[in-house]
């Protein structure tokens, strides 16, 4: 199939990362709805053939099939943003984007676990997951407080990058797993700036009021 | 007369941008801190009179704050002015959010939780300030004060110097380190949770950037100490 196809579940925060990127990059795409809850369709053989990890999102772009939200963001940015703003090609900006993408896909995945535990009752110790997720949001907040001293509004560069897109859902959806925004002034400020970007879209759990 | 028990710092002035809101607690009670588009700060009970949802989840439009849930809008006096489901309705004066006297001093937003008439003046501190941050601890105010005494900051402007903590008034403290002076607002979120609002007393020309980062590192050290030491050891 030609064009971009996203195997999508509306309530999945990783799918939301990709929807945000597609919208901010102004791309045309088609969703294919996946019954992730309660169906767990993404763990059935046709999906495992595309992503053996059994997770969403999965993206098809022409002949390419990709899984993992951060890899998908990097691909979409490289393929569609000739100016290299969303994914800077080199230097400290590139390094910063890589650091925060890895943070997002690695350590911060616990925020997704905390959220799924709270919303869908997936296995896990809810309180421990919430505490771990809170600590990671705090690391992000500390970073953005320090960035503010340099007059910088974004995680990795002097302008928004795919790192900001990848990190946004964990903060914006934190109330789903019982963490309020009260104690994260640096992230509140950043979150308002993300919301004001052209192409910003919400998802269930993120109020649309701007 | 001390202002302790009356005036509470609830946020750094810089943390509440015009047209934004945030929730907080004072001694376990919920408050919303918001700033209207003209820049005036407001601290109210964090409870919408409609169905009791948190106003801090809502959004600011001009000089109104709107509740996220059904869009009821309140003016700066806490009076409900607009109910989307009944746009023609002249809203009764009884639909009103409890508001509290709010001032800005020492780079922080302060609220009087006692009735306005009997409140003593808010803590005063003249001069330019530069924000560092608000930092949060799972400890009561006394333990945080003790940790500040035992985790001195290094000065930014000198090599080394003793640090001296002094209460200015109520919940406002000054920490002097060499030629630098920090203003500390101690904010009791609950019996076991405290926020420390930290600003530098001094000109941005001297402290913006590196000076802020210097004292940010101190807040991280302080937080680490409180989180890794048993309470008794911190208080000792
Ligand atoms: S609860 Fe606030 S408008 Fe309904």
Residue A201 resides in a domain: no
- Domain for residue A185, yes or no? yes
Q: Name the band, by pLDDT with cuts 50, 70 and 90, for residue B155.
A: very high
Mean of all residue pLDDT scores within chain B: 92
Residues A122 and A36 in one domain: no
Q: Which of A80, A115, A147 is the last residue of a domain?
A: A80
Is residue A54 assigned to a domain? yes
pLDDT average, residue stretch B45-63: 96
The sign of the dihedral angle between the CA atoms of A182, A184, A189, A192 is negative
A51 and A108 in a single domain? The answer is: no
Yes or no: say if A115 and A16 are a contact pair by the CB < 8 Å rule. Answer: no
**Within 13 Å, how many C-alpha atoms sit on residue A174's CB side?**
25
Hey, what domains does chain B have and what are their CATH numbers?
7-118 (2.102.10.10), 129-235 (3.30.530.20)
Report residue B114's pLDDT band, with 50, 70 and 90 as the boundaries. Answer: confident
Same domain, A120 and A178: yes
Element at B203 (helix H, strand E): none
Question: What pLDDT score does A202 carry?
Answer: 97
Label residue B126 by pLDDT band (50, 70, 90): confident
A205 lies in a domain? no
User: So what's the pLDDT on residue B1?
Assistant: 45
Token digits for A113?
Answer: 């676990």
B136 CB neighbours in chain A (<8 A) are 183
Domain that holds residue A57: 4-80
Q: What is the mean pLDDT of chain A?
A: 96
Could you write out the three-class secondary structure of A99-130?
HHHHHHHCCCHHHHHHHHHHHHCCCCCHHHHH
Q: What local confidence, expressed as pLDDT, does residue B121 receive? A: 78
Per CB distance under 8 Å, which residues of B are interface residues toward A?
11-12, 15, 17, 20, 22-25, 56-59, 66, 68, 133-134, 136, 195, 208-209, 212-213, 216, 220
Same domain, A51 and A11: yes
| A115 vs A113: CA distance, rounded Å | 5
User: How confident is the model over B102-123, as a mean pLDDT?
Assistant: 85
Q: Helix A162-172 vs helix A13-24: angle between axes, to the nearest 10 degrees?
A: 140
Say if residue A110 is in the same domain as residue A168.
Answer: yes
Are A114 and A183 members of one domain?
Answer: yes
pLDDT value, residue B6:
87
| pLDDT for the residue B34 | 98
First to last CA, chain A: 36
Interface test mutation site (partner A, options B136, B195, B197, B210, max chain A beta carbons within 10 A): B136
Report the C-alpha gap between B175 and B106 in whole angstroms: 13
Shared domain for A22 and A110, answered yes or no, is no
Using most ligand atoms within 8 A of CB, pick from B45, B72, B74, B95 the residue to mutate for ligand 1.
B72
ipTM value of the model? Answer: 0.94
Average pLDDT for B21-42:
97
Q: Does position A210 have pLDDT exceeding 60, yes or no?
A: no
Q: Please tell me whether residues A64 and A101 are part of one structural domain.
A: no
Range of lowest pLDDT (A17-26, A117-126, A172-181): A117-126
Average pLDDT of the residues in B109-136: 86
Query: Residue A150 falls within a domain, yes or no?
Result: yes
pTM for the model stands at 0.95
Residue after which a domain boundary falls, among A15, A46, A80: A80
Q: Quick one: A45 and A119 in the same domain?
A: no
Number of domains in chain A: 2
Q: Assess whether A10 and A101 both reside in one domain.
A: no
Average pLDDT over residues B85-110: 95
Share of chain B above pLDDT 70, in %: 93
* Residue A209 counted as domain residue: no
Does the pLDDT of residue B49 top 90, yes or no?
A: yes
Q: For residue A131, tell me if it sits in a domain.
A: yes
CATH code: domain of residue A50? 3.40.30.10
* Residues in chain A within 8 Å Cβ distance of B25: 182
Same domain, A51 and A146: no
Task: Give yes or no for residue B4 having a pLDDT over 80.
Answer: no
One domain, residues A150 and A99: yes
pLDDT digits (tens, 9 = 90+) for A56-107: 999 999 999 999 999 999 999 999 999 999 999 999 999 999 999 999 999 9
- CATH number of the domain residue A130 falls in: 1.20.1050.10
Instruction: Find the mean pLDDT for residues B149-160.
Output: 88
Average pLDDT over residues A163-182: 97
* Pair type for strands A4-8 and A29-33: parallel
Last residue of a domain, one of A31, A57, A80: A80
In a domain, A63, yes or no: yes
Does A188 contact B57 at a Cβ distance shorter than 8 Å?
Answer: no
Among B198, B210, B212, most A C-beta atoms within 10 A, so best to mutate, is B212
The H or E element spanning position A102 is helix A91-105
pLDDT on residue A166: 98
User: Could you read off the pLDDT of A156-171 as tens digits, one per residue?
Assistant: 999 999 999 999 999 9
Enumerate the residues of chain A whose CB falls inside 8 A of the CB of residue B11: 185
DSSP per-residue letters across A167-190: HHHHHHTGGGGT--STT-HHHHHH
Q: What is the pLDDT of residues A125-154, one digit of tens each?
A: 999 999 999 999 999 999 999 999 999 999
């Amino acid at each position: 199939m030609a064009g971009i196809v996203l195997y999508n579940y509306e309530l999945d925060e990783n799918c939301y990362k990709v929807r945000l990127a597609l919208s901010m990059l102004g791309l045309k795409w088609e969703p294919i709805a996946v019954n992730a809850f309660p169906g767990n369709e993404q763990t059935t053989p046709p999906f495992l053939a595309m992503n053996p990890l059994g997770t969403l999102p999965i993206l098809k772009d022409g002949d390419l099939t990709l899984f993992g939200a951060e890899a998908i963001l990097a691909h979409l940015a490289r393929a569609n943003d000739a100016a290299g703003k969303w994914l800077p090609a080199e230097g400290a900006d590139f390094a910063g984007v890589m650091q925060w993408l890895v943070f997002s896909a690695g350590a911060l995945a616990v925020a997704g676990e905390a959220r799924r535990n709270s919303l869908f009752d997936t296995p896990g110790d809810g309180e421990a997951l919430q505490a771990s997720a809170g600590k990671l949001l705090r690391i992000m907040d500390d970073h953005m407080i320090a960035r503010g001293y340099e007059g910088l509004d974004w995680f990795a560069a002097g302008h928004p990058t795919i790192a900001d897109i990848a990190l946004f859902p964990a903060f914006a959806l934190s109330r789903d797993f019982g963490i309020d925004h009260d104690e994260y002034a640096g992230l509140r400020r950043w979150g308002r700036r993300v919301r004001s970007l052209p192409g910003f879209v919400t998802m269930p759990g993120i109020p649309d009021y701007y | 007369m001390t202002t302790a028990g009356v005036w509470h710092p609830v946020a750094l002035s810089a943390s509440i941008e015009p047209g934004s809101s945030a929730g907080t607690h004072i001694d376990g009670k919920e408050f919303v801190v918001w700033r209207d588009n003209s820049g005036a700060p407001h601290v109210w009970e964090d409870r919408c009179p409609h169905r009791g949802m948190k106003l801090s989840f809502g959004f600011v439009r001009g000089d109104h704050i709107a509740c996220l849930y059904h869009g009821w809008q309140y003016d700066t006096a806490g009076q409900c002015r607009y109910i989307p489901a009944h746009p023609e309705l002249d809203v009764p004066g009884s639909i009103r959010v409890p508001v509290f006297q709010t001032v800005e001093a020492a780079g922080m937003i302060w609220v009087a939780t006692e009735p306005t008439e009997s409140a003593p003046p808010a803590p005063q501190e003249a001069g330019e300030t530069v924000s560092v941050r608000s930092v949060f601890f799972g400890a009561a105010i006394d333990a945080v004060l003790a940790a500040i005494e035992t985790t001195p900051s290094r000065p930014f402007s000198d090599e080394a110097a003793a640090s001296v903590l002094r209460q200015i008034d109520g919940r406002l403290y000054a920490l002097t380190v060499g030629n630098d002076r920090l203003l500390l607002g101690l904010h009791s979120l609950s019996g076991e949770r405290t926020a420390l609002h930290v600003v530098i007393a001094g000109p941005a020309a001297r402290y913006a950037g590196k000076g802020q980062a210097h004292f940010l590192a101190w807040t991280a050290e302080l937080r680490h100490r409180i989180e890794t030491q048993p309470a008794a050891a911190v208080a000792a």
